[in-house]
Structure 1
Amino acid sequence: MAGAPAGRAAGGAVLLLLAVCLRPPPLARARSLRFVTLVYRHGDRSPIKAYPRDPYQEAAWPQGFGQLTQVGMRQQWELGQALRRRYRGFLNATYRRQEIFIRSTDCDRTLMSAEANLAGLYPPERGEMFNPNVSWQPIPVHTVPESGERLLKFPLTPCPRYEQLQNETRHSAEYTNKTKENLQFLQMVAKETGIRDVSLESVWSVYDTLFCEHDTTLVALQMALDVYNKIQAPYASCHIFELYQEDDGNFSVEMFFRNESGKEPFPLTLPGCQQKCPLHKFLQLTDPVIPQDWEQECQVASTVHDTELFVALAVCGSILFLLIILLLTVLFRIQSQPPGYRHISNEGEEQA
């Protein structure tokens, strides 16, 4: 993280998908899946920008810089199909608004990724097709203005403390030593690309332009959970939280990560717990990364000095906070309401 400050990056944005299916437990009590939260990255995109001597400037890309490509659309459609297979029998066979909620950053490529994902997750049956020639159905994707995003947006803005820590990183001994050790390489890159800023940060932006692959939000989430394996999170990769009710009535949380198309997600274990982590233990272990006061913790007056830790906690804290609130909501509804499907939210029901 120190070698590639994310303050200049524009869009390691991911999507948050919440799937809730509150069915009555079977008469013979057995372990059952009750709730799923997915955090996934957008699909393949065009570069955010081009370096001065890049022969492929914005006009070379059909939709311009930073946009979802057709490859990215297919990646998300395939992820949607994989989720349909994984949660067959948990999600209804056809779309039901009461059991799913999708949240995206207010960005073209993430909104389009969500829509492509849903096209794979909910291919319409004959009775759902509003046009016999269109094998697709509209499903709502929720978002908020970029200026008000506190759940999925990265880098953090405005956040004075984050900017201060980024600046401290650029002047740290580790960062400056890496710059000196690779100065000849940096100068070569600057010469060949036409960039003027000879720094690790500028080279990172060249890498992004050449390979169109970087992520920050999903990595920050996994860093805070201490399950990051130091490997770049590919496009359409997906971090999964699953809530189970055990045969004794207690609840547990399992985590999985899908980082390769065509392969099943592999399990992740929260340090300090087993893979099937009891819910109370999961809440206890993740409590330190939940922000208590976002505005206060983003101010310069903070005494935190660990840059990587602060960035990771600040980015994913809100995601985990929402996850825990939803987990508790599910538990409350399971215990207090009669059997049957339940709404996630009654918001908008009174609207025409």
Structure 2
Amino acid sequence: MVSGTVLLLLTVLSVCGKAAAERKLVYVTVLFRHGDRSPVKAYPTDPYQENDWPQGFGQLSQEGMRQHFDLGQFLRNRYKGFLNESYDRHEISVRSTDYDRTLMSAEANLAGLYPPSGRQVFNPNLPWQPIPVHTVPQSEERLLSFPLGDCPRYKQLMNETEHTEEFLNVTKTYKDIIDLVRNKTGLNKTNVESVWSVYDTLFCESRHNMSAPDWVTPELMEKLRILKDFGFRVMFGVYKQQDKSRLQGGMLLGEIVKNLSTMADAESKKQLKFMMLSAHDTTVAALQASLNVFNGRQPPYASCQIFELYKDDNGSASVSMFYRNNSKADAYQLQLPGCALDCPLEDFVKITKLSISDDRDKECQLPSEGRDKEVIISLAVSGCLLIFLIALLLGVICWQKEPVSSRGYHHVINREVGEES
């Protein structure tokens, strides 16, 4: 009996091991946030202004460079045996938003991912090699920078979000904090959505050992952190999350799904194995919200969202998602709602389609605009018909009131002479 049980167990383990061996990694997309940086801006009463930072506002710090070099090494170890040991331009493509901090993060990351060896060493004293990072001007970026401000419908959704019970409750709960920040910072206007920028500035200063003003206490920072995270949720969720996703993060999701489908196609001749995207915390949050896996917290520096495409021997494809939000920990797996952890590609495409617009520009138009045009046209046509009917009615009335003599030729008998005239 015992030997039979052992035999059965060994058989199961053998089958599982074989099944696992049959599943082969064929393509990876990674999206990450840039590394540690200086504040994007200072508030009016801030004792630290732009000239207090080595490279000014919004620039990658040396700590940020180290974070991405480490992430590059993590990716090298994770995909050892999948990616070539040396850089091969055919198997990797890198794109970044057109900001110094994201471009430099990508470059630092690639330094960790592809240390030169052999013929790729062009300077024996420099363990680095140049690898291309592609970008487009900020004004043309529609794939990696969210929220995009070119969408009237999204602005309407944000306005409606501010009238939801949850938003009003948070505003009321933290009114004293919001008022305090306005009074202490010299800002003319502060609200739930904008106050997080003050937190960001204070957070950056604290990470770089700059003394905080007396009014900045640990309790205040914790409340500002809560408001900051809520601000991220407001941008991409809280109210009509899927509608927002179709107008924002769904654009990036659509591109990722398209690439996954292309790479899974047995007829595909592409050699590309690895797509690297360097962007921002809002980019990661927008994408995760469109997948309905956003945890509601600001993605930290160098956080990394990973998509892995696998194929098995019978040609079936599946997608596994991972998120690394701690530089001292491994990536953990995310589950797409409604699908298995290792989600069949067919199901992945079907589920995510709800968050991807077929015509975003059309969906961005306000719903009332079309109806308003129809109403105006209908009123104009009705008005013309009414005027025509009134004119016709007046014409009939006038015609009936005309004297008989004016209605055309007729004989008149001259009674005195008895002759026709």
TM over 0.5: yes
What SS is found at the alignment partner of 2:194? Answer: helix
Q: Which residue of 2 aligns with 1:159?
A: 151
Of residues 174-183 and 269-278 in structure 1, the stretch that sits farther from structure 2 once superposed is 174-183
> Does the aligned pair in 1 maintain the 2:146–2:286 contact within 8 Å?
no
Give the residue type in structure 1 aligned to 2:198: V
Give the residue type in structure 2 aligned to 1:48: V
Q: Which residue of 1 aligns with 2:88?
A: 96
Give the residue type in structure 1 aligned to 2:363: E
- Tell me which protein shows more helix as a share of its residues: 2
Q: State yes or no: 1:74 paired with 2:140.
A: no
Q: State yes or no: 1:39 paired with 2:31.
A: yes
The counterpart of 1:238, out of the listed 276, 281, 304, is 304
The counterpart of 2:341, out of the listed 227, 250, 275, is 275
Q: CA deviation at 1:186?
A: 1.8
CA distance in 2, matches of 1:93, 1:64: 36
- State the identity as a percent: 60
> Does the aligned pair in 2 maintain the 1:81–1:120 contact within 8 Å?
yes
What SS is found at the alignment partner of 1:72? Answer: helix
CA distance in 2, matches of 1:302, 1:143: 36
What SS is found at the alignment partner of 2:338? Answer: coil
Q: Which residue of 2 aligns with 1:218?
A: 284
Give the residue type in structure 2 aligned to 1:229: N
Task: Sort the Cα spacing of 1:227 and 1:202 in 2 relative to 1 into closer, same or farther, 3 A.
Answer: closer
Q: Which residue of 1 aligns with 2:318?
A: 252
Q: CA deviation at 1:126?
A: 3.8
Deviation track 1:156-189 (CA, whole Å, cap 9, x = no partner) reads: 0322222222233334443334323322222222
Q: CA deviation at 1:110?
A: 0.6
CA distance in 1, matches of 2:298, 2:58: 18
- Flag the structure with larger Rg: 2
Of residues 293-302 and 61-70 in structure 1, the stretch that sits farther from structure 2 once superposed is 293-302
Q: State yes or no: 1:174 paired with 2:166.
A: yes
CA distance in 1, matches of 2:103, 2:329: 25
Q: State yes or no: 1:189 paired with 2:255.
A: no
CA distance in 1, matches of 2:27, 2:190: 48
What SS is found at the alignment partner of 1:97? Answer: coil
What SS is found at the alignment partner of 1:33? Answer: strand
Aligned residues: 275
The counterpart of 2:54, out of the listed 53, 62, 66, is 62
> Does the aligned pair in 2 maintain the 1:115–1:141 contact within 8 Å?
yes
What SS is found at the alignment partner of 2:93? Answer: strand
Q: CA deviation at 1:154?
A: 1.3
| TM-score, normalised relative to structure 2 | 0.62
CA distance in 1, matches of 2:159, 2:51: 34
1:6-155 correspondence runs (5 A): 30-155=22-147
CA distance in 2, matches of 1:275, 1:173: 34
The counterpart of 1:229, out of the listed 285, 295, 310, is 295
Deviation track 1:216-261 (CA, whole Å, cap 9, x = no partner) reads: 1111111111112223211111111101112333111111111111
CA distance in 1, matches of 2:346, 2:284: 24
What SS is found at the alignment partner of 2:298? Answer: coil
Give the residue type in structure 2 aligned to 1:225: L
> Does the aligned pair in 2 maintain the 1:161–1:298 contact within 8 Å?
yes
Q: State yes or no: 1:261 paired with 2:319.
A: no
What SS is found at the alignment partner of 1:151? Answer: coil
CA distance in 1, matches of 2:284, 2:294: 9
| TM-score, normalised relative to structure 1 | 0.74
Of residues 216-225 and 195-204 in structure 1, the stretch that sits farther from structure 2 once superposed is 195-204
The counterpart of 1:289, out of the listed 355, 379, 382, is 355
CA distance in 2, matches of 1:273, 1:220: 20
CA distance in 2, matches of 1:172, 1:195: 25
CA distance in 2, matches of 1:302, 1:257: 40
Q: Which residue of 2 aligns with 1:349?
A: none
CA distance in 1, matches of 2:360, 2:155: 15
Runs of 4+ residues deviating >3 angstroms: 170-174
> Does the aligned pair in 1 maintain the 2:32–2:302 contact within 8 Å?
yes
Root-mean-square deviation (CA, aligned residues, Å) is 1.9
> Does the aligned pair in 2 maintain the 1:161–1:302 contact within 8 Å?
no
Give the residue type in structure 1 aligned to 2:146: F
Q: Which residue of 2 aligns with 1:319?
A: none
Higher relative contact order (CA 8 A, sep 6+): 1
CA distance in 1, matches of 2:194, 2:336: 34
Task: Sort the Cα spacing of 1:231 and 1:183 in 2 relative to 1 into closer, same or farther, 3 A.
Answer: closer
